[in-house]
Amino acid sequence: MRLYEPFQFLTAEQCDHIIEYGRSRQIKDASNPARKNRIVWYEDSREWQAWINLMNTIEPVIDWIQTPQISFYLPGEHYDWHTDVWPAFRTHIRHFTLTCELQSATGASFEMENHDIPHLQKGQAVIFRSPERHRATTPTNGERISFTIWAMALNKNKLQFPNQANVDKRTI
């Protein structure tokens, strides 16, 4: 497995299970200036260690994964160009992002700014470095459903606060 190369990540049955999981939960509006769509957090952690191990086959720096997200896109819904980075003061950063196509829809696609990604089929995923710009385009018909995993690694460049012991905790 290599970065930016689509691969079969989930079976059709696993995709259907995750979609059913998402539809059985309260779907939340995730709209903000960069995006208009709906999400559900996938809190079934039985596979998380396997997913961490998978990410570590690319680069063995992953400590944990953030709770995966199921994203729903109807016509008119999208996620504009963005990155998946966290603020520099965090102890861990999003190192890799995995996005998987659970259900395709006409016109909808996952795109990266600096890499050509072919249209993902059901169960196919691509892994990329989280600071890279990417987007999800709007369907013209149907509903696109995707699954995203963020692999977390220690932030070696974490900012250190001077005289941290002397900081008044009530003002933070």
Q: What is the pLDDT along the chain (172 residues), one digit of tens a residue?
A: 899 999 999 999 999 999 999 999 999 999 999 999 999 999 999 999 999 999 999 999 999 999 999 999 999 999 999 999 977 778 889 999 999 999 999 999 999 999 999 999 999 999 999 999 999 999 999 999 999 999 999 988 765 554 444 444 333 3
Is the CB of residue 42 less than 8 Å from the CB of residue 145? no
User: Cα–Cα distance between 116 and 10 in angstroms, integer?
Assistant: 22
Domains of the chain in sequence order: 7-171 (2.60.120.620)
Radius of gyration (C-alpha) of the chain in whole angstroms: 17
pTM: 0.89
How many CB atoms within 10 Å of residue 147? 24
Say which amino acid occupies 10.
L
Say which amino acid occupies 15.
C
